[in-house]
Structure 1
Amino acid sequence: MFTGIVEEVGVVKQIQKGSKSAVLTIQAKAVLEGTKIGDSIAVNGVCLTVVSLGNGCFSADVMHETINRSSLARLICGSRVNLERAMAADGRFGGHLVAGHVDGVGKIVEVRQDDTAIWYTVQAEPSILRYIVEKGSIAIDGISLTVAQVFSDRFSISAIPHTVRMTVLKDRREGDEVNLENDMIGKYVEKLLRVDKDEANQSRITRDFLTQYGY
């Protein structure tokens, strides 16, 4: 579990590409402190498992499903990436619940300055937008951000200069792709409230049943 509070920006040093997968080697410093093989690190919001450590770098496997669901396939040597270690049980909860399981990729369609703030407008698929609400939380490339506006095919966030400066938001331009993870609470609530037709047919709790017992 992560919080969306980026600890540092690392640099991709090597990419070993397979037919449908890859191994990323990333140079870092802060996230290597106390990290062991098998630990989880979020890379641009994608939870990856550390498979090797050494020379100020860590390596992680990127599976076929992860490549299909995220923007990691577009990384090149020299790319800067947001990094966050999994939250410690006694850590301070600074952002929101972030699983590191990316729901999909969005595209930045506008970047504009608003006094000290910088607005980013991101175009996204309906399957992602359905869970985005104004003043709710969204993880963009692993950064916990507050949704400022929601439209039919896009949404906007307003970032403070510190967040932009300390993350890869500083590098993002119009046309760039970003990893998106919805607030997981909305997805779980929808799942729990959804009743499959087969389940409804098997249930003895019907409108007539409720009326009979005074509901």
Structure 2
Amino acid sequence: MYTGIIKKTALVRSKTTKHKVVDMVLSSKDLASGCEIGDSINVDGVCLTIVEVVDNHTLRFQLMPETLRRTTLGSLVVGRQLNMEASLRVGDKLGGHYVMGHVDGVGEVVRILKEGDSRVMRIKAPTKLLRYIPFKGSIAINGVSLTVSALHKNGFEVSLIPHTLKVTNLSKLRKGSRVNLEIDMMARYLERM
């Protein structure tokens, strides 16, 4: 479980495929500090397991076909910047909302408006998710906890402050970019009641 508060990003250093499993190596300064094999890390909104701590700056993960089909990680390229968050631990601050790292669907950026140093991003969401995205509700985009600032027929908007743009990969998104979406788990569970 995660908070959606991103404090670090990493670059894809290599990506190789063997027997339909993608081996992905990510690196960033002190990325692996405190990490162990078997730890779960939120990588661009996807819960992945560390399979190797290469060194203090480098981690290796494996992605199965299901992950590649259901997330944006299937279209990874070397050099791409990914959001990273370690698992929530007892006593940690919960600054965002509970994020599970289970992608519910892939959305598409359809518009980005500048408002001073901030941005308003409109996302087209899969139809099946729209009912779970309320105005002023929480949503995770590429693992980042955000508040829905407007609703539209086929999607929603979020507002991005300069800090979020600086510490995440959301500043790299353009019209047409695909993003991992995770609805607030409360919305998911309320429907089952």
Shorter-chain TM-score bucket reads: over 0.9
Distance of 2:118 and 2:182 partners within structure 1? 22
Matched with 1:63 is 64
User: In the TM superposition, what is the alpha-carbon distance from 1:44 to its structure 2 partner?
Assistant: 0.3
Matched with 1:87 is 88
Equivalent residue letter for 1:50 = I
TM-score (norm 2): 0.96
> Is structure 2 residue 148 aligned with structure 1 residue 186?
no
User: In the TM superposition, what is the alpha-carbon distance from 1:64 to its structure 2 partner?
Assistant: 1.1
Greater Rg by CA: 1
> Is structure 2 residue 24 aligned with structure 1 residue 24?
yes
Distance of 1:167 and 1:32 partners within structure 2? 18
> Is structure 2 residue 89 aligned with structure 1 residue 75?
no
Q: Is the Cα–Cα contact under 8 Å of residues 26 and 58 in structure 2 kept in the other structure?
A: yes
Other structure's SS at 2:99 match: coil
Matched with 2:140 is 139
Q: CA RMSD in A?
A: 1.1
Distance of 1:30 and 1:59 partners within structure 2? 14
Matched with 1:100 is 101
Distance of 1:105 and 1:18 partners within structure 2? 25
Matches within 5 A, 1:1-215: 1-55=1-55, 56-192=57-193
Distance of 2:9 and 2:128 partners within structure 1? 29
Distance of 1:22 and 1:173 partners within structure 2? 26
Unaligned runs of 5+ in 1: 193-215
User: In the TM superposition, what is the alpha-carbon distance from 1:132 to its structure 2 partner?
Assistant: 0.2
Q: Return the structure number with greater strand share.
A: 2
Which stretch of structure 1 is more off in the superposition, 101-110 or 20-29? 20-29
| Post-superposition CA distance 1:47-100 (Å, at most 9, x none) | 000000123210111111111110001111101000000011111111000000
Q: Is the Cα–Cα contact under 8 Å of residues 149 and 155 in structure 1 kept in the other structure?
A: yes
Other structure's SS at 2:66 match: helix
Relative to structure 1, the CA distance from residue 88 to residue 30 in structure 2 (aligned partners, 3 Å threshold; closer, same or farther) is farther
Equivalent residue letter for 1:181 = E
Q: Is the Cα–Cα contact under 8 Å of residues 31 and 84 in structure 1 kept in the other structure?
A: no
Runs of 4+ in 1 over 4 A off after TM superposition: none
User: In the TM superposition, what is the alpha-carbon distance from 1:7 to its structure 2 partner?
Assistant: 1.9
